[in-house]
Structure 1
Amino acid sequence: MDTYVNKINTPSTHQPTQISESTSTQPFTGKVFLVTGSESGIGRETARELARQGAAVMLNGLRPDRLLETHRLFAEEGLLVDTCVADVTNWDDCQRLVDTTMLAFGRLDGLITNASVSMRAYFNDLDIDVFRTVCDSNIYGTVYPLKAALPYLKASRGSVTFISSVSALNGLPSGSAYCAGKAAVSNLAHTLRLEWHDTGMHIGVVHIGFTRNDPDKRVFDAGGQPVPIAHRPPNLQMTQPQVAQRIARHIRQRRQITVLTGTGRLNAFMSRYFPHLADRILLWSMRRWPRMYE
């Protein structure tokens, strides 16, 4: 395993893979994407969907064994991917991640900032270091990869997609740090869209709703210990491949904002036009289904 860790942490010296732009009618043929947090979960399925639609994809994560297994599965499908272990909250790691992508594929057309951590605890009980860790993963875990990749994305007039959450639209009890981080990312996207309006770049946000996560997915409790995610009604959840397909469509159409799930879209509508009623409904749901918030 040590050999593999060194391999996927160190930019290779081989010539970039030649990316064809004309041999397929797939929508992302000839494009290169970097998907952070793509060793598992939604990030993994997004990377798979982009690769199935013709893209070359750089996979990223923190767990070498999980990243190796994802790479193996994709290679068996004939998908063009490479891997790099990197912590997206570390600036030097992000520079190395982008350098590795350029060495592997020679260009960069899209960035999906998916990597982040979440939590489930009421603010009164939440350790301040946990709050900071969650915010760092969502905010700097978006800012650092984007800043490192920016010269190449500008050159390709590429696409940037921030993975946010419907909870960023009006907040969610027991998710204060996560909601704050995702709301910051959403507003960052709006700001950058204004600043870069004449660059030809695409800046978008996808607000993820309830999703069927990996069984081993964990979030932080009040003291920073990993615990299972809160209960979610199965009938309200999208599958990970469904989410990935919607993210790919969002990128193809260069949309500014996409809100997923019917519940998510209803939440967005109610929060915008009937905020007081939306709060009353949320408070009622806390009493009716406390397992969703505890």
Structure 2
Amino acid sequence: MQAQEKTTAQGQLVIIGGAEDKEGDCQILREFARQSGGSNARIVIMTVATGLPGEVGEQYTRIFDRMGAEDVRVVDTSRREDGDDPRALEILREATGVFFTGGDQRRITDNLKGTEIDRLLHDRYMKEGLVIGGTSAGAAMMPDMMIAEGEPQTNPRLEVAEMEEGMAFLPGVVVDQHFAERGRLGRLLSAVVQQPVVLGFGIDENTAIVVSQDAFTVVGQGSITVVDVSKLAHSNLSQSLKDEPLALCGAILHILPDGYRFDLKKREPIWEEG
């Protein structure tokens, strides 16, 4: 008898712009729980980004318990060595959904990148259909190069966005959060043109993208701003000093509200006619 070919089942990402509804209908958190298995969901809350892990972990535990998830646990990796903790790894092996809270994205990369937890999450996401969600800092860390910090600016300048290695769950893009509320278009543009990527996603508060295979769907109250610099006709990037305004000619901008989709391969929005 011939051995069966091993198949892979890539998971989904739920990337939230921060300040998601936690008291009302909780549309986005419900979507994360639903994608994670609904009433059969086994959710792990990762509190590594926050300085208040007990309080924040308890808050999200109450929410997912109220929704009827089968099991909700908290894993706090406040030290680098916690990233290799056998008990945490055992809990994460049983999870169907892993949710990163807000806080400071540098805490996530400093404490988890390159650890056993990092390797396990990537392996289960790529091969076992694990759903990974993150809000605010938990959204910023999703690309391979993340915005570590930077001031909101109307004008893009090189100094506006400080880039560092992210967790690479969604490589090849740049993600910014709290987008419209904090006026971060200039920051996103500055980040995108500094990287060897052509797509940037600005995610408003109480808004998320659900990434599945080669497309994402918008969920929530606000919009997603997609910046595409693949067809730039001109940029003064190579001549600019870090505190000087950038010129970007020919950048493409898409604004996508709830229900709209975007093809990541074709770099095109998807909508229903009629």
TM-score range, shorter chain: 0.3 to 0.5
- Which structure shows the higher strand fraction? 2
* TM-score of the superposed pair, with normalisation by structure 1: 0.43
- Of Structure 1 and Structure 2, which has the larger fraction of its residues in helix? 1
